[in-house]
């Protein structure tokens, strides 16, 4: 379920090239999940790492995480 959630979140990611030539990526509805790197591939990789850390922190703090493509991820479900 966690892998599906990460994949679904990453499908929502948007990327742009900034004026300095670096790539910026973010995932709407995932506050604070963003990356800024020298290449698109590195930006995708870093964005996924940030998302995974954000999910772990959110679950450990008992936060409600966004529902993505019908996938509900919560601390209660992970503990079961």
Q: Mean pLDDT in the chain?
A: 93
Mean pLDDT, to the nearest integer, of 29-37? 97
CATH classification of the domain holding 16: 3.30.160.250
Closest by alpha carbon to 57, among 44, 38, 73? 73
**Confidence at residue 74, expressed as pLDDT on a 0 to 100 scale:** 83
Mean pLDDT, to the nearest integer, of 57-77? 89
Query: 64 in the Ramachandran plot: left (φ > 0), alpha (ψ -120 to 50) or beta?
Result: beta
Q: What is the number of domains present in the chain?
A: 1
Does residue 31 surpass a pLDDT of 90? yes
> What domain range includes position 15?
2-79
């Amino acid at each position: 379920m966690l892998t599906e959630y990460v994949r679904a979140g990453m499908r929502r990611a948007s990327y742009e090239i900034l004026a300095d030539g670096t790539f910026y990526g973010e995932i709407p509805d995932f506050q604070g999940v963003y990356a800024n790197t020298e290449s698109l591939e590195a930006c995708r990789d870093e964005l996924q790492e940030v998302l995974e850390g954000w999910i772990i922190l959110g679950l450990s703090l008992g936060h409600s995480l966004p529902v993505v493509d019908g996938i509900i991820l919560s601390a209660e479900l992970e503990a079961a």
